[in-house]
Amino acid sequence: MWWHQHNLCFRHPVEEDYSGDLEEKVATIAETDESAESEGVIDSHKRREILSRRPSYRKILNELSSDVPGVPKIEEEKSEEEGTPPNIATMAVPTSIYQTSTGQYTATGDMPTYQIRAPTTALPQGVVMAASPGSLHSPQQLAEEATRKRELRLMKNREAAKECRRRKKEYVKCLESRVAVLEVQNKKLIEELETLKDICSPKTD
DNA sequence: CATGCCCATCGTCAGGTGTA
DNA sequence: TACACCTGACGATGGGCATG
């Protein structure tokens, strides 16, 4: 059985969409919603501890597709999406440094300016390999290196989040179409059963 | 027109998962 | 085991719509 215990209650109003319901529908899982009352009681931190992970959408869908011929596989990348040219990556270099609980970061004070349109597997290599740790000397250089690494990490994660959301949408669409197919199938089987009943049952008149 | 509500989307963080 | 990747959660933002 699937990961159906995941997120039965703690639905984020927007991002946490209804895919869980679809999963239940497809798998015909008996719902145990006694925990619905506890919504809002458990804080976010505890929530994360409770929630169990499930496989990635790509994995799930690919497994689905191997089981069911009609189910499409999630593609690795759609670089031609929206018709925008790939491999455009511009980043503003932050100037000021601030301290957070997780480390020393920098900021410009306004929103970071970036425009990225590159496949996740083809990140700007020039940026990645720009400086090796051995070539750093002054604290300023170290700070710049840390900043550069952080910006790179954020950029990668931004793209990863986009891709993840795209996959999730695709996954939900797939589930929806699967629900439709199964409903039709179910209807047909019920009709067939009724027909067979009529044929097999002896007339008593 | 101003305000409030709802929804979609985005960027980020944190932590789980996969793999070399 | 370190590292990269993936994804749930959260807050911010902006657009659309209804209402006063």
Task: For residue range A74-105, list pLDDT tens digits in order.
Answer: 444 333 333 333 333 333 333 333 333 333 33
pLDDT at A202 over 80: no
- Report the C-alpha gap between A144 and A42 in whole angstroms: 40
Burial environment of residue A35 by CB neighbours within 10 A (0 to 12, 13 to 18, 19 or more): middle
The set of strand B positions with any atom below 7 Å of a protein CB reads 7-18
A166 touches strand C (CB under 7 A): no
Scan residues 9-48 of chain A and list those with Cβ within 7 Å of strand C. Answer: 10-12, 14-16, 43-44, 47-48
Alpha-helical runs (H) found in A12-138: 19-27, 44-50, 57-67, 125-128
Task: For residue range A57-71, list pLDDT tens digits in order.
Answer: 666 666 655 555 444
Task: For residue range A123-136, list pLDDT tens digits in order.
Answer: 333 333 334 444 55
A55 touches strand B (CB under 7 A): yes
- Report the C-alpha gap between A81 and A144 in whole angstroms: 34
Q: How long is the CA A12 to C1' C16 vector, in angstroms? A: 21
CA A122, A125, A127 angle in degrees (round to 5)?
Answer: 125
pLDDT at A164 over 60: yes
Q: What is the pTM of this model?
A: 0.57
Which nucleotide's C1' is closest to A160 (Cα)? C6
pLDDT at A193 over 90: yes
